Amino acid sequence: MFVAVLATGIVGTVSLVWAAATRLGLAAPGSPPGSALFVLGGGLAGAMLTAMALLGTLRTVGRPLGAVMDAAGRVAEGDYGVRVAEQGAPPFRALARAFNTMAERLASHDRQRRDLMADLSHELRTPVTVLQGKLEGLLDGVYPRDDDQLTTLLEETGVLSRLIDDLRTLALSESGALLLQREPTDIADLARDVARGFAGSAAAPHAAVDVDAPAELPPADVDPIRIREVIANLVSNALRYTPAEGSVIVRVSAASAGAIRIEVRDTGAGMTPDELAHAFDRFHKGPGSRGSGLGLTIAKHLVAAHGGEIQLSSEVGRGTTATVTLPVASLNGTA
């Protein structure tokens, strides 16, 4: 249709021009416009070829772009499962590949958001339910209004407070908004402080926490509060799965030039390969755990914020070892 309309337009234009030329005496009346017909034929053929090429180009460009536009509209409506077929010229294939990657990431983030909301509701429900039940029992006279009941209520509020603090720390670290107050710090002293804190705990009896560190270690340029939190999380996690007759050892040593290694080794139940693979996942808990499931996740983010690394190794029945490597100097090169 487009070619026919274009050809008709060219024929009409040439006829009008030839009629005008005859009236002005530029062409002999009645003589056949031979040269004009030649030009007309060549122009018509060229126009048809151009139109065909143009249609082919439009078809080649339009199909992949149209597919991407349609898919983008579906993603905007919340359908993250849509994918675009990789077709056409290399640039369009690259565009489709980039779109599919974007859609996969959006789908992954949406799943994580849904999982996070479900996990949060589950974690918050337990202490809130206990508080509500205890308070109702106190008001109804089911429970005596004594110190034991108030202590239970206070413990549950502590669970809620720790969960809120953990969520805030995790949110700041994941968004890159966590500010580190770096200063030269003796990592061995931090480890000893953590061990003394657990030794003086009024909680149920647990395994002893020992610290093994050389007399002299170079100070590390870290945030002492955050690194103390890392060590405390690792020790707390180790004690949770280690019987009272077991042991937890925190070993601090020089890993290499410019790095310090912290090892937290326990003689607990250990982890299976599947548990080990998900140990750093948010809200992942081992069997019988009463923690929030955020300790190892937060530790990993805090270590990464310092430019370090954290790894876990474990064997069922023989315990678990968490290894943290921290640079002595900060990321900006100051010591």
Q: What sign has the CA pseudo-torsion 255, 260, 265, 271?
A: negative
Architecture of the CATH domain 184-327: 2-Layer Sandwich (3.30)
Q: Is the pLDDT of residue 41 over 90?
A: no
Q: Is the pLDDT of residue 247 over 70?
A: yes
The label of the residue with tokens 């395994």 reads: 207
Q: Which two tokens stand for residue 154?
A: 């206070």
Return the top range by mean pLDDT from 36-50, 104-118, 188-202, 309-323.
309-323
Distance CA 335, CA 332 (A): 9
Q: What is the pLDDT of residues 176-187, one digit of tens each?
A: 788 889 999 999
Distance CA 322, CA 312 (A): 5
pLDDT of residue 333: 44
pLDDT of residue 234: 92
Q: Are 217 and 186 in contact (CB under 8 A)?
A: yes
Question: Poorest-confidence range of 175-179, 218-222, 319-323, 329-333?
Answer: 329-333
Q: Is the pLDDT of residue 263 over 90?
A: yes
DSSP run (H or E) holding 290 = none
Domain ranges of the chain: 2-79, 115-175, 184-327
Q: Is the pLDDT of residue 211 over 90?
A: yes
138-160 in b/e burial notation, b at 16+ Cβ within 10 A?
Answer: beeeebeeeeeeeeeeeebeebe
Pairing of strands 309-315, 259-266: unpaired
Q: For the residues 234-259, what does the mean pLDDT come to?
A: 87
Query: Of 268 and 44, which is predicted with more confidence?
Result: 268
pLDDT of residue 156: 82
DSSP run (H or E) holding 254 = strand 247-256
Confidence of residue 335 (pLDDT cuts 50, 70, 90): very low
| Adjacent-strand bridge partners of 247 | 208
Q: Which of 100, 90, 38, 21 is nearest to 60 (CA)?
A: 90
pLDDT of residue 39: 47
pLDDT of residue 133: 87
Confidence of residue 18 (pLDDT cuts 50, 70, 90): low
Pairing of strands 309-315, 319-327: antiparallel
Task: Give percent of the chain above pLDDT 70.
Answer: 75
